[in-house]
Structure 1
Amino acid sequence: MNSSIQPGAALDRDAEQLRALGYTSNFERSMTLWQNFALGFTYLSPVVGVYTLFGLCLAAGGPPMFWSYLLVGIGQMLVCLIFCEVVSQFPISGGVYPWARRLVGKRWAWMVGWIYSVSLCVTIAAVALGAGPYIATLLGFESTPVTNTLVALALTVIATLLNLSGTKLLARVAMFGFICELLGALVIGTYLLIFERHQPFSVLFNTFDIRIDGSYWPAFLTASLAGMFLYYGFEACGDVAEETPNPSRRIPKAMRMTIWIGGGAAIFAALALILAVPDMAAVISGADKDPMTTILDNAFGVTGARLVMAVIIVSFVSCVLSLQAAASRLLYSYARDEMVMGSGLLKRLSPNTHVPVAALIACGVIPSVIVCAGFYLQNAIAMVVSFAAIGIYLSFQMIVGGALFARLRGWKPSGAFTLGNWGWLVNILALTYGVLAIINMSWPRTPDAPWYLNYGIILVGGIVILLGLAYMTLFRPYDKGTAPHGDAWKLHQQ
């Protein structure tokens, strides 16, 4: 075979596959397997995920919280495997929305896309705000609500400009972020384990007599939120399906790599941090309210800690970039099927950069509004932010449930990646895990707080779902487009 024409032939096959699924697009298929994986990795962002919640979850559940990273990783791998089957057969930009459309139908897809898009926009704002204290430390000024807000707005603008520059730059920045974050996690973790280990490995099984209503398990379930807020991002690999050559094979592989490598980096970082805590009793009692800073200052000193902060900041920037890229492709996919107001503008791709300009700008403006609202309504925004992770989990389970529904109607995955006879068992286990995870994340844990705070996640989730249902009922957006829907099992029968 003449290798000089092979790439073009492959792209023609990809375009023909997309046409067979009912779509055409002008995206630039230039994202390699490793670049696609890097997008998922930087979205998952083990450094951001571990470092952000480490202190809170360690205080809540003690060192055994480490095991939650492993257990949640196994559960999310089950979900990932179902996603791999679906995206392999339906490699369409937008991820969960087009998958839900083919597995179940238009209304189900609209609600999945609505919940997921709200969750993504809130997550972008939350990650951008989370970068504020680290940037303040690096630059030597005090972290305040004002500076955090300004940093978040600046970070969102930078991510939007980078994304507007095109798929190639997005892929390169994602690769740079992946390399910096992985090397940072490995180097920092290795240094801590070799030179700054203050705890024995047996501490991973020491509950320090933490009890809630006489039992340790409620505390462990609370601490397990550390893992549950970490293990997503693999779905972002599928959001750019039309920008990746041979997506039926490459994207399922990139998704699994995201869990294996991203999860492995997170587990390693968490292990190193736990064993580097100088005084575990002080963290458990609340005397040390910021064990992350304590560890980094003790291990690296002020100058060294700033270098570590620089790695963390790169992780935050690349995480916001990847989140925004995923959100914009979802919005583009939504608009292409006429499922949202302003579809005519949102579905346009730039003739120069081949990216959805209006969708990207919207995915910069909406998080910026949330950031500004957070400055004035901190308690309310805290509840909204807490919904973000559970909203993503809910969207995931609507896909896992949709896949099970399609199987019951006769769907047999026919992409390059399938689970074969294991499909039913993995699907059922993934759904069971996801439902239990959602219950754990939304379970009220502050009985002394006002009811609207205690049930804040459930309250915000209910409002988001009701608003989506109201929009669907009033405007019937799902009836405007003519793209295929609810045909996964029919394709198999044909």
Structure 2
Amino acid sequence: MTVDQPAGERAGAPPAPNPNDATVASFGYPQELKRTLRFFSLFAISFSIVSISTGIFLNYGFAINQFGGASIWTWPIAAVGQIVMALLIAELSTKIPLAGYAYQWGARLVGSGYGWYTGFFGLLYMSITGGAIILLGATPLLFEAMGLTPPSGVVLTVAIVILLFTIVVNIVGVQLAARVNNTAVVAEIIGTVLLAVTVIVAFGLYTGTGGGSVANLTNGTGTAGSGIGHFVLAGLLGIYTMVGFELSADLTEEAVDSQTAVPRGVLVGVIGSAVLGMLALICFTVAMPDLGAAQASSAPIVTIAEFYLPTAVVKVFIVVVAFSMIALVVANQAAQARLLYSMGRDDMLPFSRHFRLVNPRTQTPLRALVIGGIVSVAFMIYGFLQTDSFTTLVGATSIAPYLVYLLIVGSYMRRRPTLAAAPGAFNLGWWGVPLMVVGLVWIVTALLILTIPPDFHGAVKVVAGAAVLAVLWHVLVLRGRIARGEAGVARFTDSSTGR
């Protein structure tokens, strides 16, 4: 992230007031968080949260077992759907530029009760994601690079330590978290894209027998069965990966120029991820020497790469990929804490006073970071204890964000005509309505894919169980607080001011 301060501030002069602070004040909040994030920082958050490395390394094996090499053509379908979502979110981020994006958008477009559910599912997504990525991705890859196969209990212990490390990085301050995420952009490109390009070049130079083939791109032979249903299931590859790009909007109160930098960061993050991810998938699939061996491997990308490259070289790439996954979780935990902070300052959570506290030295919501980290560890342990950790955790981290998208787009479609465009900010104009229709169709389709197949029923139980807790809190406690004016936000009443 770019965290440079103006010359006057470096010299000890009082910082000039940021015009975006007045926007925050117009919504009824003081500016408490430190504005240091510029465009590249926000792009880095979106790009590293999407993390094509994580999505491809975690889900490529699942996809090719469903529909062979041809499964990668589900990626551009998901990419188009998510780019539509990114366009809508980029516009909305300029109209309600507040931390706690999911909660604030839902609450101010419809009402505080509605905002509770959008915020809750956003928290659920972020709370599960951190543990899932570390447990299923980064930790196994690190052991793979070291050539070790430790007991599952050791994997869990190391995963917990790594997750706690990501919390410490955020506690130190947003600047350190920013630098980690800036580096993660390079790690993503080196760890996945450069590896893929290196593999395809080695494939082109390969003169032995049993190499890859362009025919792999149309080979729909899966081990799980055959037919269009398995192609649809393979869509998890893109559906799971291309989410989270909106989390840069969650740090909008820490952006120096939120009205232009946030929407640009969201859009460039998801479009860049879509293009580079497709490039990597094509390279790996064409170079795949043996579909059966790749399908049987617990790490098919590693299996493909080691066919052409020295093991030592592949291990270096694996370490870089693992780092990019850890950086993803650093950004994820930062966004989770900001959402907790935003909901806490409106007294929407149990023990809200703890979540809304900002550390005066680091200007970060320290208690929200710690409590959010504990919740993430709990979900990690829960997933570890399940028979199928992969579909339970990965499936749940896919369902939750699409529920957030559904709630946000549904409410925005109803309220958009009454909201004035922010001067000079990103605006879809008349394209907004057709994009919303396309977006809703895409979201519903993705949710059907993620909930109907038996493979994901464990994930559905996690989300449904959490939703029951959300309803109980709302009905038994929160609804009364909101009715008495003790919690929540005011609805929009003036489209010219956004209040």
TM-score, normalised to structure 2, is 0.90
Alpha-carbon distance, 1:149 to partner: 0.4
Which of 464, 473, 477 pairs up with 1:462?
464
Q: Show the counterpart of 2:492.
A: 487
Q: Larger deviation: 391-400 or 291-300? A: 291-300
Amino acid of the residue matched to residue 280 of structure 2?
A
Q: Show the counterpart of 1:137.
A: 144
Which of 273, 286, 289 pairs up with 2:284?
273
Preserved CA contact (<8 Å) 1:63 1:207: yes
Q: 1:287 to 1:117 in 2, by over 3 A?
A: closer
Deviations 1:396-441 (A, max 9, x none): 1111111112136x34544611100111111111111101110011
Give, in whole Å, the separation in 2 of the partners of 1:225 and 1:267. Answer: 14
Q: 1:225 to 1:92 in 2, by over 3 A?
A: same
Q: Show the counterpart of 1:475.
A: 477
Q: Show the counterpart of 1:326.
A: 335
Which of 101, 108, 124 pairs up with 1:95?
101
Q: Show the counterpart of 2:428.
A: 419
Give, in whole Å, the separation in 1 of the partners of 2:277 and 2:377. Answer: 28
Give, in whole Å, the separation in 1 of the partners of 2:490 and 2:312. Answer: 56
Q: Show the counterpart of 2:174.
A: 167
Amino acid of the residue matched to residue 468 of structure 2?
L
Alpha-carbon distance, 1:11 to partner: 4.3
Amino acid of the residue matched to residue 83 of structure 1?
I
Which of 365, 371, 375 pairs up with 2:380?
371
Which of 21, 25, 32 pairs up with 2:31?
25
3-state SS in 1 of match to 2:402:
helix
Amino acid of the residue matched to residue 381 of structure 2?
C
Aligned-residue Cα RMSD (Å) equals 2.5
Pairs within 5 Å for 1:233-312:
233-283=244-294, 286-288=295-297, 290-312=299-321
The number of equivalent residue pairs is 480
Q: 1:10 to 1:491 in 2, by over 3 A?
A: farther
Preserved CA contact (<8 Å) 2:212 2:286: yes
Alpha-carbon distance, 1:367 to partner: 1.3
Q: Show the counterpart of 2:208.
A: none
Preserved CA contact (<8 Å) 2:67 2:222: no
Deviations 1:333-365 (A, max 9, x none): 010111001111111111111000000001111
Give, in whole Å, the separation in 1 of the partners of 2:7 and 2:462. Answer: 54
Unaligned runs of 5+ in 2: 1-5, 205-210
Pairs within 5 Å for 1:55-74:
55-74=61-80
Alpha-carbon distance, 1:203 to partner: 3.0
Q: Show the counterpart of 1:449.
A: none
Alpha-carbon distance, 1:42 to partner: 1.1
Pairs within 5 Å for 1:397-408:
397-407=406-416
Matched, 1:222 2:233: yes
Give, in whole Å, the separation in 2 of the partners of 1:144 and 1:158. Answer: 22
Preserved CA contact (<8 Å) 1:137 1:143: no
Q: Larger deviation: 79-88 or 480-489? A: 480-489
Unaligned runs of 5+ in 1: 447-453
Alpha-carbon distance, 1:245 to partner: 1.0
Give, in whole Å, the separation in 1 of the partners of 2:496 and 2:385. Answer: 51
Matched, 1:201 2:214: yes
Which of 414, 422, 436 pairs up with 2:445?
436
3-state SS in 2 of match to 1:240:
helix
Give, in whole Å, the separation in 1 of the partners of 2:376 and 2:101. Answer: 20
Alpha-carbon distance, 1:226 to partner: 0.3
